[in-house]
Amino acid sequence: MHIEPGIVDGAKMALAYTTAAGAAAYSARLAVEDLGRSNIVSFAGRAAMATIGVFIFFEVLPHFPVGVSEVHFILGTTLFLLMGAAPAAIGLALGLLIQGTFFAPTDLPMYFVNVTTLLVPLLAITALSRRLIPEDRAYVDLSYAHVLKLSAMYQGGVIAWVAFWVFYGQGVTVDTFASVGTFAAAYALVLLIEPVADLAALAGAKAIRGASAAGLFTQRLYNAA
């Protein structure tokens, strides 16, 4: 989902600054809520683990350019389910920044575009989860259907934002439609993998369930709301 440099530029970047700021503000609100249920040590640890995970997802796992962007295994729902919404948001933003600063500096001008593309779908599944997941069910007890819905919304959100940025920056033309279609078709393959990764991560968390794991993950992983 690293949108190619130049897709959005000039005065049009003002919208990216605005959307990124809005996502950051809402993430800060979620952080306050999280800290009300946990503590700063747990929160900082989860944010750090999410950041390391995102860096690995971007830089180590297979990724390849397709048209106007790149296909990555972001595993956004995995981070959300294990670490919580706010630490996952921090991890996505910092992981993307670290990866761009040290390994892909040409991507930095598009940072606010890309961070919006990552964070807004995360915030959307945070809201969806409150309606979709029963309050008496911990995340480790979720079914495949629940996980698939969350993953579909996150990955669909990423595709939608990439499409928006391309049409916003380059206009609605035959070429932009073709580029977006090619990217969307390739990125849809991620949806076949992410729910499996989510369930595997939840199974692993369930296997180490206990007091020793409590501070490593979001409280909702093992407990009802």
Q: How many domains does the chain have?
A: 1
Name the pLDDT band for 87 (thresholds 50, 70, 90).
very high
Q: What is the model's pLDDT at position 58?
A: 87
* Residue 178 located in a structural domain: yes
Q: What is the model's pLDDT at position 210?
A: 66
Burial pattern 32-55, b for ≥16 Cβ within 10 A else e, equals: eebeeebeeebbebbbebbbebbb
CATH code of the domain in which 133 resides: 1.10.1760.20
Burial of residue 14, with CB atoms counted within 10 A of its CB: 0-12 exposed, 13-18 middle, 19 or more buried: exposed
- Write out pLDDT tens, residues 149-206: 999 899 899 999 999 999 999 999 999 999 899 988 888 877 788 888 888 988 888 8
* Residue 222 located in a structural domain: no
* Residue 64 located in a structural domain: yes
Q: pTM of the entire structure?
A: 0.93
* Residue 46 located in a structural domain: yes
Comparing 59 with 47, the larger pLDDT belongs to: 47
* Residue 152 located in a structural domain: yes
* Residue 225 located in a structural domain: no
Distance CA 77, CA 66 (A): 22
Contact criterion met (CB below 8 Å) for 214 and 125: no
DSSP 112-149: HHHHHHHHHHHHHHHHHHHHHS-TT--GGG--HHHHHH
Contacts of 167 (CB under 8 A, 6+ apart): 176, 180
* Residue 1 located in a structural domain: no
For residues 34, 36, 40, 42, the Cα torsion angle rounded to the nearest 10 degrees is -50
Q: Which of 107, 185, 151 is nearest to 177 (CA)?
A: 185
Instruction: Determine the average pLDDT of the residues in 2-21.
Output: 93
The whole domain housing 28 covers: 10-217
Contact criterion met (CB below 8 Å) for 117 and 1: yes
Distance CA 127, CA 147 (A): 14
Q: Which of 19, 34, 37, 221 is nearest to 115 (CA)?
A: 19
* Residue 223 located in a structural domain: no
Q: Which of 180, 72, 161, 59 is nearest to 120 (CA)?
A: 161
